[in-house]
Amino acid sequence: MGIADMGGDMRKSSAMLAIAVSGLCIAPASAQIDIMDAGSDAANVGRTTVMTDAIKRDAERSSANADDVDAARARRAAATCANKEAARARHGADDPRVQQLYRLCAQAGF
């Protein structure tokens, strides 16, 4: 083998090396997508678990708040119905608002 022959082999080797290196530069990007997808699935499962827990906590709070609101409404209705005679004396029995108050109190059991 002469020097000229080695130059040709070196060029071929250099070209092959350049192709291989460029392939390696591209391959990690495409492989990264697969890795990110796999990681995203795991991350999504984690996020889903966290969000599910948050939704459950919010539902429990809403339920507790709804119970508080219902209790407050019941107390207010009881107080209003307890004072229905005062409304009747002030506005008269013929007043449509007083008649509606008596109807609603009867429906509510007061």
CA distance 15 to 82: 97
Question: 50-72 pLDDT, tens per residue?
Answer: 888 888 888 888 877 778 888 88
pLDDT (0 to 100) of residue 23? 53
CA distance 94 to 92: 5
C-alpha pair distances (Å), 101 with each of 72, 75, 82: 18, 15, 11
Question: 64-101 pLDDT, tens per residue?
Answer: 777 888 888 899 999 999 999 999 999 999 999 999 99
CA distance 60 to 46: 21
11 vs 65 pLDDT, higher one: 65
Rg (CA), the chain: 40
Question: 22-41 pLDDT, tens per residue?
Answer: 554 555 555 555 555 555 66
